Copies of this chain bind each other. A is one copy, B any other.
Amino acid sequence: MKLSTKGRYGVRALLDLALHQDEGLVPLKDIARRQEVSLPYLEHLITPLVAAGLVKSTRGARGGVSLVKPPSEIKLSEAVQLLEGSIAPVDCVNDPKLCHRSAYCVTRDIWSEMKNAMSQVLDSTTIQDLVERQRQKGQPETEMYHI
């Protein structure tokens, strides 16, 4: 039941972006440096977010990425879904046809409950919530990693 680096780094990238959006377009390079993720990898993480219209990217010199919606309207469930795919512990929770036992499989019911419990958390948390928590903790994300 581990989250992959896509989900972890991707959410952190969104948070970083939200924390710096008042500075205008944010180059991926800056996010990569602050979040300690390699730039080539971050490029792949940002792709699905751009494709989904969550993030807007601007090419060229002085380019960078920016949030399309305000952070308060970006639910973590949306971000995680884009980055990791469905959060369901087993695929047959989303599509019963994937398991030929699903009609009478009681463990599937439990995995489904787990999915709901997780969704509950991710649906009720937005990037804005993370921003506020971060500011309370001393906003190190904006202060550290200056050389």
- Which positions in A face B, CB cutoff 8 Å? 1-3, 7-8, 11-12, 15, 36, 76, 84, 87-91, 101, 104, 106-107, 109-111, 113-114, 117-118, 120-122, 125, 130, 133-134, 137-138, 140-141
Contact = CB atoms under 8 A, between A and B. Distances in A.
Say how many copies of this protein the assembly contains: 2
Given A1-B89, A3-B90, A8-B90, A15 B118 contact: no
B3 A118 contact: no
Given A104-B140, A104-B141, A121-B117, A76 B3 contact: no
B121 A87 contact: no
A2 B87 CA distance: 7
Looking at chain A's contact residues, is the secondary structure mostly helix, strand, loop, or mixed? helix
